[in-house]
Amino acid sequence: MRIFYILLSIFLMNSFQAKSQARGPFPGTEHKVYKFYPNPAVSYITFELIKEGAKSYTLQIFSFLGKMVKDEKEITDKRTVNLSDLNRGLYTFQLKDETGRITDSGIFQVNK
């Protein structure tokens, strides 16, 4: 089972690196998340967005199994999310605009 998690982590990190070299999450678009830190996180993670006027976004965080664990509404430029109630592991995030379209996504790790 441990080998499975190691291989899965390697696969996810390789796909994340390939994505970070691309121009954006979808053809013709740019990343909306300027940076997120610290990664790996322990008790909190901060997301900084590229400012685009008065647009607000929704940030959703999912466990590795696909269960939504956090849903942060009305994010405009910077948001710190408390992770103290999450277990150790890999998590994904999705940034959605007002219409519900995914504008950016990524992976981060929680260490405890």
Q: What is the pLDDT of residues 59-92, one digit of tens each?
A: 999 999 999 999 999 988 899 999 999 999 999 9
How much is the pLDDT for 9?
67
Domain at 2-110, CATH homologous superfamily: Immunoglobulins (2.60.40.10)
Q: What is the pTM of this model?
A: 0.71
Domain coordinates in residue numbering, the chain: 2-110
As to burial, measured by CB atoms within 10 angstroms (0-12 exposed, 13-18 middle, 19+ buried), residue 104 is buried
Q: What is the pLDDT of residues 32-64, one digit of tens each?
A: 888 999 999 999 999 998 877 778 899 999 999
Max Cα–Cα distance, the chain, nearest Å: 47
Q: Is 2 helix (H, G, I), strand (E, B) or coil?
A: helix
Evaluate if residue 106 carries a pLDDT over 90: yes
